[in-house]
Amino acid sequence: MVQHIKEFFAAERDEGMHAVGTSEVRSDISGHVTGKTQFYADRQIRGLLHLKMVRSPHDHARIRGVDVSEAARMPGVVRVLGHADVPANIYTILKLIQVEPDDEPVLADGKVRYKGEPVLAVIAESEAAARAAVARVKVDYEVLPAVLDVEEALKPGAPLVNEYHGHNYFTYEGHHCRRVRHGDVDKGFAAADHVIEERYQSAPIEHAPVETTGCVVVPEANGRLTCYSNTQALFFTLDNAALILKVPFQKLRLIGGTVGGGFGGKVDVIVEPIAMLAAMLTNRPVNFGYSREEEMQVSSPRAAERIYIKDGVMKDGRIVARQIRLYVDSGAYSRHSPYGTTKAAAHMPGPYTIPNVHVDCHCVYTNRTPSSAMRGFGVTIGDFALEVQMDKLARLLRMDPIEFRMRNAYRDGDMKAHGKVTDGAALVEVMQAAAKMADWPLSAQGARASSLRRES
C-alpha cells in the first residue's frame, strides 16, 4: 500500500479540489481484465494480407544479389517488395525535430548493418504463406567485418557501420559527443582527498510488452489509407510515414490509442510505413505485426551503455569533481538514440551539487539491432552507475550512504552542471521518508536537512 505523506511542503499545496487527487477507477480496466478491449489486431477485416520480412542473417554484409523468383511463385504470395519500391527509402525518425542525417533504409539497399535488418517484404494471403515464401528468398551476401563494441567502434580503422555518418558516432553540432562543462575538473581532482574511477556496463533490454508492435492498414474507397496502429505517437507516425511514402499528409489517417504496453518500444516508426506501402501497391488491407522473436531481437531495445565515472571527494564527504565518459550503443542506426544521449548528458552528474563537472556522452554506431527509447530513456542506466558509485564513495569515506548523499544532494538555488538553477528540489525529503519506512537511523542533522536550504 501507498502512504500519502502530507507533512512535507504542506505550505506549497492547495487543497480542496473535487476531481483531482481522487482515485477514479481507470476507464479501461474492466475491458482489459474481461478481454473486451479492442486492440488493433482484434478487427475483423475481409481480404487481409500479411507481410513478413526477409531479414539479414549477418551482422554486416554486402548484398550481391537477391533472387525472389521461387518465393514469388509460392502459393498465396501476392508481391515481394524491395528497396526500389519505397519512394523515400532512407529516413531517420527524428527528422521531424531536425535531427540529421537520414541514415536508415526502410528496406536494405546494397548492404545490411545488423543481424535481423529487413531486406525484402513478402506480402501473402496468410501469415503461413508469407513465412514459407520468406524462407525461399535467396540473398547472396558478402560478409563484412563487424564491430560490436562501442569503444572498439571509435578506434581508427574500425569497420565503418553507417556510411551516412561517415564515422561511427553521431555528430553534435560539430562535436563528436554531447558535452557538459562546468567548473574545472582537473583542479577539483588535484584538490581532492581521494580520486576513484569506476566502470559500469549494461546489456540491451527488451520492453517486453504483452502486445507486440504492429498495425493493419486499410485502403479506403476515398483513396486514403487508414492505419490501425499501437504506436505511442500517432502524429509522429503519420508525418514520418507520409515523408517515406511521398504522399500528401491528408492521405493518411492513424487510429490507435489502445496499446498493450509501450514502455518506449512503440515510438519507432517501423511497421507502419512498409505496411502502408504494401496496402497502396496491392490495394488490399495489410497486416504487419511482429512475432515475439522479432519483438525481442529486431525491435529496438534499451541501449547498452558503458559509463566511466571518475570522482574527487573530500574527507568530509563533499564531491568536488566528477568526470563522466558515457557510451550509448546506438546499434546500426540513429532512431531516437542521439536524443537519449543528450538526455543522458543533461542528467549528469545526478541530483547532486558538484562544482566541477566534465561530461562526454557518445552516441556510437555498432553492427547490432538499433536501440531506441525505453522507459527512463537516457537516465535509467546512468542512475545505476551514479548510485552504485555513490555507495562506493560513502564506504570509502566510512560515511552512512544516506548522510553522504544528503551532504551532496542539490538544494533550491544551486547551480546545475547544465547551467540551470535548481528549483523544486525534494531529494533530501524522499531520503528522509524512505529512511523512516526502512527504520534506517539518521543523524539529527540528516533528519533536519531540507531541500529548501543548504545547512551551513
Partner 1 sequence: MAKARGRGVAAVNYPTGMNLGGDPSQALIHATTTGNFVVSLAAVDLGQGLKTVMAQICAEAIGVPVETVIIDTGDTDTGPHDMGTFASRATHRVGNAIIAAAREAREALMQVAADEMEVGVADLVTDGKGKIHVVGVPGKSISVIEVALAAHFKHGRTVSGRGMVLPTRSYPDPKTGKMSPANTYAHACTVAEVEVDTETGEVTVLSLKSAYEIGRALNPRMVEQQIVGGAWMGMSHALYETTEPYYPDRSHGPVDFNEYLMPGPGDLPVFESAILERPSSDGPYGAKGVGEMTANSPIPAIANAIFDAVGVRVDSLPITPEKVLRGILLLNRAEAG
Contacts with partner 1: how many residues (CB under 8 A)? 130
Say if residue 118 is preceded by a cis peptide, omega within 30 of 0. Answer: no
Binding to partner 1 by CB under 8 A, coded x per residue (else -) over 374-393, reads -xxx-xxx-xxxxxx-xxx-
Residues sharing a CB contact under 8 Å with residue 222, sequence separation 6 or more, in sequence order: none
The footprint of partner 1 on residues 109-168 (CB under 8 A) is 115, 148-150
Using CB under 8 A as the binding rule, whether residue 199 contacts partner 1 is answered as yes
Q: How far is the CB of 38 from partner 1 (least distance, A)?
A: 11
Q: How far is the CB of 43 from partner 1 (least distance, A)?
A: 14
The DSSP secondary-structure symbol of 268 reads: S
- The correct pick among 41, 45, 94, 396 for binding partner 1 (CB under 8 A) is 94
Contact 61, 109 (CB under 8 A): no
Contact 169, 279 (CB under 8 A): no
Q: How far apart are CA 216 and CA 41, in angstroms?
A: 7
Helix 337-347 / helix 380-396 crossing angle, nearest 10 deg: 30
Q: How far is the CB of 75 from partner 1 (least distance, A)?
A: 27
Nearer to partner 1, 41 or 148 (CB): 148
Q: How far apart are CA 418 and CA 45, in angstroms?
A: 52
Q: How far is the CB of 130 from partner 1 (least distance, A)?
A: 19
Nearer to partner 1, 80 or 428 (CB): 428
The footprint of partner 1 on residues 11-40 (CB under 8 A) is 12-14, 17-28, 32
The footprint of partner 1 on residues 221-240 (CB under 8 A) is 231-236, 238
Q: How far apart are CA 371 and CA 190, in angstroms?
A: 38
The footprint of partner 1 on residues 37-56 (CB under 8 A) is none
CA 439, distance to chain mean position in Å, is: 37
Q: How far is the CB of 49 from partner 1 (least distance, A)?
A: 23
Q: What is the 3-state secondary structure (H, E, C) of 210-238?
A: CCCCEEEEEECCCCCEEEEECCCCHHHHH
Q: How far apart are CA 217 and CA 372, in angstroms?
A: 24
Q: Which stretch binds partner 1 (CB under 8 A): 48-56, 171-179, 213-221, 318-326?
A: 171-179
Q: How far apart are CA 359 and CA 177, in angstroms?
A: 9
Nearer to partner 1, 203 or 447 (CB): 203
Nearer to partner 1, 32 or 138 (CB): 32
Using CB under 8 A as the binding rule, whether residue 175 contacts partner 1 is answered as yes
Nearer to partner 1, 74 or 307 (CB): 307
The footprint of partner 1 on residues 314-373 (CB under 8 A) is 329, 339, 342-343, 345-347, 350-351, 359, 366, 368-369, 373
- The correct pick among 178, 318, 362, 407 for binding partner 1 (CB under 8 A) is 178
Contact 267, 236 (CB under 8 A): yes
Contact 277, 227 (CB under 8 A): no
Q: How far is the CB of 135 from partner 1 (least distance, A)?
A: 17
Q: How far is the CB of 23 from partner 1 (least distance, A)?
A: 3
